[in-house]
Structure 1
Amino acid sequence: MDNLFLFIAVVSIPTAFVFAGIAVVNYIRKNKEKGKKSLKISGISLVVTIVAFIAFGVISDNKEPEKVEVSGPAKEVVDKVEKEPELTVEENATEEKEEDGSADPKSQIENIVSDKLKGKTNTDKERIVSVEKVSGENEPLYFVVTLNSSENLTTDMTKRTMWLDSKDILEPISKIENMGKIILHWQLPLTDTLGNVDDVRVMTINLEKKILDEINWENFDVANFAVISESYFEHPAFKK
């Protein structure tokens, strides 16, 4: 229908000009009767043109866009987008946190250890043995982290390596929201009296949040872990 009004408008425009021209010629020839008739037809054509353009505009504005049929894999994508509800700003932020693991304290600890100490020791053992949450649902976070230590030339150097590694990870771990307490267990492979080699706990550092917050990490002497820990443990092998 809109195309019909457009056609009428296009045809009426030249018609109006033609009969206007004929009217002028008739008036010049002093044929007023024909001049009036031609002028009347020209006016009607002009009115028809205006009405047709208005009708075309109204119909075009009210016309619904044609739906394009989509099939196959593309249809599945379109259907999924149409069905998915829009997320609020808060929901988007929560979703992003869940994707990068930042909302999960256990994942944060694992990421810190992997970032600071790398994934494996210098003896090619997996660095992280376990990360266990032992606090209740509404309590401050309490984690027990068991790690494999890298070895060094002497027992004293190996012990200091564990202290230094503890400092590197405890500083960022202490900043995790609602962290209340953390225990670090360090393991090394040791040989018993029968010649059997097994991974044995050789050091434990136990620190509460209030102590962690008081540490000046820039000037901290790592040997003082043995002093400030709530309960500190060293394997007898370090004391030989």
Structure 2
Amino acid sequence: MTITEFLNPQDWLGQGTGPRYVQLRRRLEEAIEQGILAPNASLPPERELAELTGLSRVTVRKAIQELVAKGAIVQRQGSGSFVRDASPRVEQSLSALTSFSEDMQRRGLETRSTWLERGVFMPSPEEMVALGLGADESVARIARIREAGGKPMAIERAALPTDILSNPLLVTTSLYEVLEAEGLRPVRAIQKISAINLDEDDAALLDVEPGVAGLSIQRTSYLASGRVAEFTRSTYRGDAYDFVAELRLSNAKDKR
């Protein structure tokens, strides 16, 4: 059954069953539950919904706004209204220093990488500052799209001194596995997380619409000696990740 047939008002719109916008909201919810409107499918425009149902555009708009508030529908500026992808969100703890591969394996999700860049390069000014490199030194750089469960989740762009990662081609799955084999796995890190709207290039790589919400994370990782080992800039889909931090009450003496 098509959404046009499913929204025929003779089949559901009646008296004594609540306000008309509530009836339309429920009908659209039924369409989502039954798969008539699949995840990521676009809703007909407000004008078309009004014509199909015989309702006013104000009524249609109010029904859609309720679905947006309930999280069933997402609205994308300039593109329209879409059924939210029902894929589960991933929670990642901020209290443990782990790799993407390790995080996904613990959740039973198969990971895959699409390589964007992998090799030894001259460092950028930002990389020189972050890694403490001189202008005449080289940097190992890897950049890839990280996928889990067949879905692009993040774009990772990592840079490391070449005496820590001499051959970036050794990294096929987990960077930290390669570093651990050499006894050079980082033991702590500082992360900066910022909310962003994805630009056209990153949105295309993550298979979402430009301008949707995302997370930008900069991570500087350190060896046990205190030396900087890794500088990574990652871009995550905002609809796929939740970052969780555990907070504890400080000692009484710290509150004075």
> Structure 1-normalised TM-score?
0.22
Larger radius of gyration: 1
Which is richer in strand?
2
Which is richer in helix?
1
> Structure 2-normalised TM-score?
0.21
Relative contact order higher in (CA < 8 Å, ≥ 6 apart)? 2
